[in-house]
Amino acid sequence: MTEHTLTVAGVAVDTRHWIGGERVASTETFTDVSPIDGSVLGEISRGTAMEAAAAVAAAKAAFPAWAATPRAERARILHAVADGVEKRLEELAIVETTDNGALLRSHRRGVMPRVAHNFRFFADWLLKLEHEDFETRGHTNHVSWDPAGPCVLITPWNAPLMLATWKVAPALAAGNTVILKPAEWTPLTASLLADIAAEAGLPAGVLNVVQGYGSEIGDALTSHPDVRRISFTGSVPTAKRIAASAAVNLTPLSLELGGKSPLLVFADADLDLAVDLAVEQYDNAGQVCLAATRFLVQESVAEEFTRRFVAKAGQLTQGDPRDEATDIGPNIHLRQLEKIDGFVQRAIAAGARAVIGGHRKDGQYYAPTLLTDVAQDSEIVQEEVFGPVLTLQTFSDEDEAVRLANDTRFGLAATVATGDPERAERVTAQLVAGTVWVNCFFVRDLQAPFGGSRQSGVGREGGTWSFDFYCDVKNTVTAPNGWRNHG
């Protein structure tokens, strides 16, 4: 091992940036801490405007050759990256669990396989990406997707590698080069991805990984004139800063932001199913942007729903995420834990009642919480907590349910539990959300559009929508019989 390598559960991770196919160290570092027990994992290179400029320059230099690489060859390399992910799946799983505190069993069985799938899906989608030619007064229109250039991808800490590759894979498939900036609280698997991509044959400079704080390196990336696309997943305040920075160069943005999504439970719903869906919202210690954190339950079944929910939630096991029996792990950071508790204590002081939870536990763990007696205009109902904290309100009829569901500044997702297909059709048509689930939750297909409405985001990614964003979409119009005879 070297001074720039740390070991996590036996896995060696390089702590330096990956720029232009080489490891680059910074003079300053930041400390990476595991949320499981607060242990220090290591010191990570802390990038500045200098590393940002170097990464963009490397991406710009590598762009012409990668953009000119035939689709089939780009797809082959992306499949090779997926092979590398699958080969190192166990290593990626344990490193990410240690770094962000999410369940090891979830990383093994769902998250890391999805990382590989991200690369395979967009590689395959690239090969079938086309738009049928069409005629206009005898002229032929041909639509094509041209690579845009260097892309800055800024990713969150709640599902670091999966959400990073959800952006990296289509950007690379489209023929762009990438500067990936992972969240400073969870930088480790992005570093491993750089190794995997290099081993798979991705040319130097096509993927660059830079680490550090948004205020020190993020601003330098998002304001750089050579950056052609910016994709960000995270908070609304940060998105506003990124948008202001990108506006200087009119750099196109894709923003997937926060949510305050509702779960609507109607009296005709299968209550056991509705309760299962409700308890699922504690997944990843509530650190899921799509989580339906606001339960809206029809008055006639609210008492029974609550009783069953409390019983079901009481069966959850909270503890070390490396244990197969654990259902809820820690929250990411002491700062986040304090934020969560602040929301809850202010809500209780304002009159809310904690049916379950409502308090911190040892370390970075927060008790799964359900609050009732909350007002629609209260902070706890209107603002994203991003922890294992849910609220419950009641409604009398469909109109009130829809009104309450739409009455926030967000519009990321919504979940509806009902036994009436006609009601489901009526209600979903009125909900303001980028994704609506009916009698299910978190069913995601990469060919579907994904994004939020209102302050939950700008734009859509997934399938062809991803290529629409990461490319310059061109229409070429050719006149009929306009060719000169060069014979």
Calpha distance 323→21 (Å, rounded): 37
Token pair for 23: 């490891």
Same domain, yes or no, for 115 and 16? yes
Mean pLDDT for 81-89 is 98
What's the pLDDT at 151? Answer: 98
Percent of the chain at pLDDT above 70? 98
pLDDT confidence of residue 121: 97
Q: Are residues 318 and 186 in the same domain?
A: no
In a shared domain, residues 317 and 268: yes
Q: What is the DSSP string of 276-299?
A: HHHHGGGGGGG--TT---EEEEEH
Residue 481's pLDDT band, with cuts at 50, 70 and 90, is confident
pLDDT, residue 482, reads 67
pLDDT of residue 339: 96
- What is the tens place of the pLDDT at every residue in 412-459? 999 999 999 999 999 999 999 999 999 999 998 999 999 999 999 999
467 in any annotated domain:
yes
Residue 445 included in any domain: no
Q: Which two tokens stand for residue 168?
A: 């990296």
CA 457, CA 166: separation in Å to the nearest integer? Answer: 16
Note whether residue 484 is domain-resident.
no
The percent of residues in the chain predicted with pLDDT above 90, rounded, is 97
Q: Is residue 485 part of a domain?
A: no
Over residues 338-348, mean pLDDT: 97
**What token pair was written down for 313?**
């939630």
Q: Among residues 91, 256, 384, 461, which one is catalytic?
A: 256
- Both 341 and 280 in one domain: the answer is yes
User: Of 181, 214, 184, 49, whose CA–CA distance to 193 is shortest?
Assistant: 181
Question: Are 52 and 74 in the same domain?
Answer: yes
Same domain, 220 and 302: no
The answer to whether residue 289 is catalytic is yes
- Return d(Cα 378, Cα 382) in angstroms, integer: 6
pLDDT of res. 36: 96
- Three-state secondary-structure class, residue 247: helix
Catalytic, out of 51, 91, 289, 471 = 289
Question: Is residue 444 domain-resident?
Answer: no
pLDDT digits (tens, 9 = 90+) for 360-409: 999 999 999 999 999 999 999 999 999 999 999 999 999 999 999 999 99
Task: Report the pLDDT value the prediction gives residue 485, as an integer from 0 to 100.
Answer: 62
pTM of the model: 0.95
**Residue 207, domain member (yes or no):** yes
486 lies in some domain? no
The answer, yes or no, to whether residue 349 has pLDDT greater than 70, is yes
Same domain for 416 and 467, yes or no, is no
CATH number at residue 134: 3.40.605.10
Residue 486 pLDDT exceeds 60: no
The tokens describing 193, both together, are: 């991805």
Average pLDDT, the chain: 96
Q: Give the per-residue pLDDT at 183.
A: 96
Q: What is the mean pLDDT of residues 334-351?
A: 96
Does 238 share its domain with 289?
A: no
- Pair 252, 267 in one domain: no
In 181-235, which residue ranges form alpha helices assigned H by DSSP? Answer: 188-199, 219-222
- Claim to verify: residue 246 and residue 275 sit in the same structural domain: no
Same-domain check for residues 123 and 242 = yes
Number of separate domains in the chain: 2
Residues 378 and 347 in one domain: yes
**The Cα angle at residue 283 between residues 196 and 289, in degrees rounded to 5:** 75
Decide if 446 is inside a domain.
Answer: no
Q: What is the pLDDT of residues 280-306, one digit of tens each?
A: 999 999 999 999 999 999 999 999 999
Three-state SS at 150? coil
- Read off the pLDDT of residues 177-212 as tens digits, 9 standing for 90 and up: 999 999 999 999 999 999 999 999 999 999 999 999
Domain that holds residue 399: 262-438
pLDDT band at 3 (very low <50, low <70, confident <90, very high): confident
Q: What is the CATH number of the domain that holds 312?
A: 3.40.309.10
What is the pLDDT averaged over residues 3-29? 95
